[in-house]
A = this chain, B = another copy of it.
Amino acid sequence: MSRADGANREDGAVAGIRSAAAGTATGGAGANLLALRSHNTALVLDLLRTAGSDGISRLELAERTGLTPQAVSKITGRLREEGLAAEAGRRASTGGKPRTVLRLVPGAGHAVGVHLDRDEARVVLCDLAGTVLAEARSALHLGAGADAVVERTARQVEELLPGARGALLGVGVALPGPLDHARGVLHRVTGFPEWDGFPLRDALARRLGRPVVVDKDTNAAALGLAVAGEGGSFAYLHLGTGLGAGLVIGGSVHRGARTGAGEFGHQVIRLDGPVCGCGDRGCIEALCLAAVARGDLAAAARVLGTGAANLVGLLDIDLVLLGGRTVAAAPGEFVRGVAAVLAERARRKGTPGDPIPVRLAAGGSRGVAQGAAQLMLAPLFGRRDG
């Protein structure tokens, strides 16, 4: 069995090649040289992005990727030719030639993120680093019909475009409710049956003449957090007018085959409990929002924490992030309450190590729109669907 020689690897690097089968035909997952280059380039680009304005040296890139310094030199050479990377000074010498620091050129590419919330539209223009360069907000009336909303959104996007000196990669759109990420079709928009099955991605792409990607708001927010540096696997729990989750597993957003993943609000945690709007009984969302409505934030946090603990146990994730308007109104209360439930359950199970941390999600009310822009940017850095 000489086939084993390629298999004995350590765990981190084992997750190496899967994202890069670019350049091959449609069907399988076979990888060719173009795919290889694409993968390694994305990896280097992601490290440059993460390093930010501090920059990162070639040798450090080599260490982090496991590639040889010479390979990194070739890759960064191409990136510099394309204008995506640039030299940015040098580090202090350690007894020899000092390392040259490289950094990402943020202005080399841009993307627009659109957040269609229930009553407000928010559009941001971001550069490659994810920095918001321009922003616009306006009231949103879904009842005006799909065509009107598409037209109005398109105009808002176009108003921001002059801010993008570099190329525009495309537009990412995030909105609540069930939809098909792969096809860009909305399944249903609560309260507006005329939207059922609307092909938002294609409609907006045709109107703008640019690539468009559509995703759930919770997924966009989670992607934004992942790109912003939250490593490993985590859950973003969004408690606003509803309750939903975005799951990041191994750095990629987990959507499931039907973009249905993250259905957190209607997890049943009290069998035969009070009836929820969905028709079921004892859903987290109903229990949690009822507690909020009667002002009992401790109870709301405990309910949320129970659901979070179920999720943490099921997926063994590393971190829980909380967000949404309701959480933002009393962040400490929710973070402490959820953390307490998690700590209590971890104590009971006696698992070694520290309990799973709970934090308030960064990004605030702009997080979803920024994450929506990342729907177009993240693939450049090797982050695809989980």
Contact = CB atoms under 8 A, between A and B. Distances in A.
Interface string A234-274: 00000000000101011000111111111110111111110
Nearest to A265: B313
B11 A385 contact: yes
Most buried by B among A11, A29, A187, A249: A29
Contacts of A187: 351-352
B16 A15 contact: no
> At the interface, is chain A mostly helix, strand, loop or mixed?
loop
Determine how many copies of this chain the complex contains: 2
Contacts of A385: 11, 14-15
B31 A1 contact: no
A214 interface: no
Given A6-B38, A384-B15, A27 B266 contact: no
Contact of A18 (B16, B280, B351): B16
Contact of A19 (B16, B36, B255): B16
A267 B310 contact: yes
Contacts of A32: 36, 67, 71
A21 B9 contact: yes
A35 B17 contact: yes
A314 to B, nearest CB: 6
B28 A64 contact: yes
A61 B369 CA distance: 42
Contact of A271 (B13, B37, B188, B269): B269
A124 to B, nearest CB: 19
A256 B315 contact: yes
A194 interface: no
B268 A269 contact: yes
A272 B271 CA distance: 11
A167 to B, nearest CB: 4
B41 A36 contact: no
Contact of A27 (B20, B39, B63): B63
A17 B13 contact: no
A177 to B, nearest CB: 11
A10 interface: yes
A43 B65 contact: no
A350 interface: yes
Nearest to A167: B1
A314 B30 contact: no
A316 B43 contact: no
Interface string A208-236: 00000000000000000000000011000
Interface of A: 1-4, 6-43, 45, 63-67, 71, 79, 82, 84, 108-109, 166-167, 169, 178, 182, 187-188, 232-233, 245, 247, 249-250, 254-264, 266-273, 278-280, 282, 287, 303, 306, 309-311, 313-318, 345, 348-353, 379-380, 384-386
Ranked nearest first, the 7 interchain pairs of A and B with the lowest CB-CB distance are A16-B21, A18-B18, A256-B316, A17-B17, A6-B38, A30-B65, A263-B313
